[in-house]
Amino acid sequence: MKVKDLGAPLDVFWFRLPHQPADGVETGGFVDAGGLLVSIYRGSYWQCAHVIPKGGADAIRAAGLPTWRASVAKLAPMFANRMEHVASFDDVKLLSVQVDRLERWYRDGLLCIGDAAHAMSPVGGVGVNLAVADAVAAANLLWRPLANSEVSEADLARVQKRRAWPTWAIQSFQVFAQNNFIAPTLNARGQVRAPWIMRHLQSIPVLRDLPANLFAMGLRPEHIQSPDAPV
Ligand SMILES: Cc1cc2nc3c(=O)[nH]c(=O)nc-3n(C[C@H](O)[C@H](O)[C@H](O)COP(=O)(O)OP(=O)(O)OC[C@H]3O[C@@H](n4cnc5c(N)ncnc54)[C@H](O)[C@@H]3O)c2cc1C
């Protein structure tokens, strides 16, 4: 099946750090020349995403764990006192980022949804949302033909038709953010500033909530319509 590759200038090291009472629970974003770190509160620990240049993992590993720990501590000083909790690079999972989508999501007898149809960038953390929305749309459109054991290619095409547009729109936004904000930061030397659009979004509450709503709810929210939907 033909894949349209949209490209990604980044990879991500995922790892966990312990949460400490004084930390608070706000999602954190740390930006400096050459790196970005996002920390997500997960109850007892921080899920951390260290964004690195595409293909940069081997060089970081070769430089050694202490050098990597120091670079993360410099990026996010609040974690400097606990970087030793990452005992080895076995605790650091590499996500090799891809952003792509199938030109056609189906064949006779086969339908691809979620990551199988479209690998999403980690920008916005939307991979799960889109996968679940695809599944709900597929259930809504296919429960009747499935119950009659008559699923045609046209039925499968309807699922792609419904989900292709929100996928395209979110991927377009992600690629824009990757190329205009993330890649320049990863390639920067010296001081970097958060992009003006982010600074303005932060200061105007209505605008600040827009991206969160866009990513959390999606552009085309799906609701279960099959007869066994919970009431
Ligand atoms: C490290 C990491 C962090 C991520 N963080 C986030 C995040 O914070 N937020 C977010 O929204 N997304 C995140 N994602 C992306 C998210 O995990 C995916 O977008 C999402 O899981 C896609 O769902 P899916 O059902 O399409 O595929 P998957 O969740 O990959 O499900 C596919 C399933 O099929 C199974 N399978 C594969 N082959 C076979 C086979 N031959 N037979 C039977 N079963 C098989 C697999 O074991 C798997 O359980 C992250 C991804 C990674 C790798």
Ligand 1 atom with the shortest distance to the CA of 115: 26
Contacting residues for 135 by C-beta, under 8 A, at least 6 apart: 113, 114
CB 111 within 8 A of CB 105: yes
Integer angstrom CA distances of residue 18 from 26, 42, 44, 94:
14, 10, 7, 19
Q: In which residue are the tokens 């974690």 written? A: 79
Question: So what's the pLDDT on residue 28?
Answer: 87
Alpha helices in 55-152 (DSSP H): 57-63, 65-75, 127-147
Q: Which atom of ligand 1 is nearest to the CA of 93?
A: 1
Ligand 1 centroid to 125 CA: how many Å? 12
How far is it, in rounded angstroms, from Cα 138 to Cα 153?
13
pLDDT in tens, the chain (231 residues): 999 999 999 999 999 999 999 999 988 889 888 889 999 999 999 999 999 999 999 999 999 999 999 999 999 999 999 999 999 999 999 999 999 999 999 999 999 999 999 999 998 889 999 999 999 999 999 999 999 999 999 999 999 999 999 999 999 999 999 998 899 888 888 777 766 776 777 778 777 788 778 888 888 999 998 777 666
